């Protein structure tokens, strides 16, 4: 009984003991907050790394012969689309034509007169099929999205045919019909473009005979609407048009450059699906045949998962996690030291009491548990409050940061620097429980040292003190 009674009495009567609790509290709440923010950032980074990447991208090398008789992969998308869609793990697939080019300034200047690059912008042209594209990518969502500070009325009117002329577009009856494009909201805003404006595009094409680039005729197109994805630089650099229209502009040497594939369950199926498709498509001569056995890390060929194409960056993120773990361990170590220091002090201060307890019949084991429970009790209270505080702080970090910057003018989180407009946090309960348990465990280990010292204190020495 005395262990419980004395431990709680010691803690209550000696405010200095709260330093141990405080150190655990601060460590646990800080760890939870750090974990939440770091996990948030890592998750965002991962998301960001993934960007618009589809689960799988199949991009045959059309110019390399499949076999000795010089046959190359078919340029039409039909057969390969059919073959890919037949796989049970595939939810949707769409053919894309991707090419590079430039947006020519509308003020009449030409691209070439502006060698500094200012006033023009490199873009990718992405030729897509509607509605295939909607099934395989987030395009439909990006076209539907409504944002508070977005430009109103710039989205295309009819999502079933987003490349139609805007309603109020006045077509010059004499001109030949123009193609319509979709561009990122930010890009349109930067250029002061509105729905229905005409835009000029420039590109160069590869001459299939000589293998060299030559400038293609510029094209005037109509902005049919804007989209907004969650990825800034993608919004600034992607221009969608009909696949047909792009292929036509580029001279119809190819009809598609890649398939984007969405799987039903990426995490579960990607390994098997990738292997299956390699074999299947390779056998049918739709892509180049490759060895049967799949070797991990072998991502240099025609079928890539999104992780394949971000391999080294993802590895860096995982490194970050390991580093995070080490840092968290260090924080706990410091907290444990707080408990150790306070309890050591207490044991020294309470030598006499320890001697009396011995004289009154307490065993060394009892004295050990007395001091362990002081450390444990402190840690439990600290860990509990720390969890409450940490989770609360993680939930409200953005409000807190805003308050800080508006009250003191300190800007901790510069929204211009990051791709996201708030501090991302992820509450991982598994991690939180782990932190709390580790904190209490560390405190107990730290408490064990002074507790053992107390238990093996010679009562006679202890009592000689006055």
Partner 1 sequence: MSDPAPLIRARGIRRSYAVGDRTLEILHGVDLDLYPGERLCLMGASGTGKTTLLNILGLLDRPTAGSVHIEGRDGWSLSVAERAELRNQRMGYVFQFYHLFAELNAVENAVLPAMIHHGAMAYMSHRKEYRDRALDLLTRFGLAERLKHRPGKLSGGEQQRVAIARALLLNPPILIADEPTGNLDRATGEKVLELLFAEQERRGLGLLLVTHDDSLAERCDRVIYMEDGLIRGQRVLRSVGGSTDSPELPSGEATAPA
Long-range contacts of 6-12 (CB under 8 A, 24+ apart): 6/370, 7/370, 7/371, 7/373, 7/374, 7/377, 8/377, 10/346, 10/350, 10/374, 11/374, 11/377, 11/378
Q: At its nearest, how many Å lie between partner 1 and the CB of residue 326? A: 41
Q: Does residue 466 bind partner 1 (CB under 8 A)?
A: yes
Residue 21 or 369 having the CB closest to partner 1: 369
Residue 110 or 363 having the CB closest to partner 1: 363
Q: At its nearest, how many Å lie between partner 1 and the CB of residue 330? A: 35
Site residue total, partner 1 (CB under 8 A): 28
Query: Which 335-374 positions form the footprint of partner 1 (CB under 8 A)?
Result: 352-353, 355-366
Q: Does residue 157 bind partner 1 (CB under 8 A)?
A: no
Q: Does residue 463 bind partner 1 (CB under 8 A)?
A: yes
Residue 144 or 461 having the CB closest to partner 1: 461
Q: At its nearest, how many Å lie between partner 1 and the CB of residue 10? A: 6
Residue 28 or 451 having the CB closest to partner 1: 451
- Which bin fits 379, alpha (ψ -120 to 50), beta or left (φ > 0)? alpha
**Alpha carbons 165 and 83: distance in angstroms, whole number:** 34
**Alpha carbons 303 and 275: distance in angstroms, whole number:** 9
Residue 267 or 466 having the CB closest to partner 1: 466
**Alpha carbons 454 and 448: distance in angstroms, whole number:** 10
Residue 285 or 366 having the CB closest to partner 1: 366
Q: Does residue 410 bind partner 1 (CB under 8 A)?
A: no
State whether residue 433 is helix, strand or coil. helix
Q: Cβ(234)–Cβ(137) under 8 Å?
A: no
Q: At its nearest, how many Å lie between partner 1 and the CB of residue 366? A: 7
State whether residue 128 is helix, strand or coil. strand
Helix (H) or strand (E) holding 339: helix 311-349
**Alpha carbons 428 and 173: distance in angstroms, whole number:** 61
Report the greatest alpha carbon distance in the chain.
112
**Alpha carbons 437 and 134: distance in angstroms, whole number:** 46
Residue with tokens 């209270």: 381
What x-and-dash track marks residues 420-439 binding partner 1 by CB under 8 A?
A: --------------------
Which of the ranges 3-11, 145-153, 236-244, 435-443 carries the binding residues for partner 1, by CB under 8 A? 3-11
Query: Which 9-28 positions form the footprint of partner 1 (CB under 8 A)?
Result: 9-10, 13-14
Strand partners, 214: 205
Which of the ranges 5-13, 211-219, 305-313, 426-434 carries the binding residues for partner 1, by CB under 8 A? 5-13
Residue 199 or 451 having the CB closest to partner 1: 451
Q: What is the dihedral of CA 346, 348, 353, 356, to 10 degrees?
A: 150
Q: At its nearest, how many Å lie between partner 1 and the CB of residue 2? A: 4
Contact with partner 1 (CB under 8 A) among 6, 38, 438, 457: 6
Residue 59 or 463 having the CB closest to partner 1: 463
* Binding residues vs partner 1 (CB under 8 A): 1-2, 4-6, 9-10, 13-14, 352-353, 355-366, 458-460, 463, 466
């Amino acid at each position: 009984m005395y262990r419980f009674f004395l431990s709680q009495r010691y803690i209550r009567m000696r405010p200095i003991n709260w330093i141990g609790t405080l150190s655990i509290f601060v460590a646990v709440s800080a760890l939870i907050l750090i974990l939440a923010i770091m996990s948030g950032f890592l998750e965002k980074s991962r998301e960001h790394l993934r960007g618009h990447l589809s689960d799988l991208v199949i991009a045959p090398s059309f110019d390399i012969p499949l076999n000795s008789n010089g046959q190359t992969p078919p340029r039409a998308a039909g057969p390969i689309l059919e073959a890919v869609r037949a796989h049970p793990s595939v939810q949707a697939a769409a053919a894309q034509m991707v090419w590079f080019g430039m947006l020519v300034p509308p003020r009449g200047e030409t691209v070439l007169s502006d060698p500094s690059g200012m006033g023009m912008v490199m873009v990718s042209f992405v030729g897509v099929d509607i509605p295939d594209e909607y099934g395989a990518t987030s395009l439909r969502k990006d076209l539907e999205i409504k944002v508070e500070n977005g430009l109103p009325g710039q989205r295309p009117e009819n999502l079933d045919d987003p490349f139609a002329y805007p309603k109020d577009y006045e077509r010059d009856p004499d001109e030949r019909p123009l193609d319509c494009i979709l561009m990122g909201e930010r890009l349109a805003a930067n250029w002061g473009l509105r729905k229905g404006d005409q835009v000029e595009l420039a590109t160069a094409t590869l001459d299939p005979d000589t293998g060299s680039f030559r400038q293609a005729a510029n094209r005037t197109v109509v902005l049919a609407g804007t989209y907004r994805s969650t990825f800034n630089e993608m919004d600034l650099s992607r221009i969608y048009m009909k696949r047909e229209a792009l292929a036509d502009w580029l001279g119809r040497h190819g009809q598609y450059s890649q398939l984007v594939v969405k799987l039903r369950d990426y995490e579960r199926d990607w390994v098997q699906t990738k292997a299956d498709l390699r074999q299947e498509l390779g056998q049918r001569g739709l892509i180049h045949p490759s060895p049967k056995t799949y070797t991990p890390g072998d991502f240099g060929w025609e079928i890539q998962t999104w992780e394949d194409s971000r391999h080294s960056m993802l590895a860096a993120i995982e490194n970050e996690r390991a580093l995070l773990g080490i840092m968290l361990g260090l924080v706990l170590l410091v907290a444990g030291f707080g408990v150790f220091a306070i309890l050591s002090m207490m044991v020294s201060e309470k030598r006499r009491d320890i001697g009396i307890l011995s004289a009154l019949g307490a065993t060394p084991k009892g004295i050990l548990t007395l001091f362990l429970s002081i450390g444990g009790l402190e840690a439990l209270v600290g860990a509990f409050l720390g969890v409450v505080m940490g989770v609360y702080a993680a939930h409200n970090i953005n409000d807190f940061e805003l308050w800080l910057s508006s009250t003191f003018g300190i800007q901790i989180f510069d929204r211009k620097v990051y791709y996201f407009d708030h501090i991302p946090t992820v509450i991982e309960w598994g991690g939180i429980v782990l932190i709390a348990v580790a904190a209490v465990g560390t405190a107990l280990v730290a408490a064990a040292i002074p507790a053992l010292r107390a238990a093996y204190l010679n009562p006679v020495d202890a009592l000689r003190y006055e």
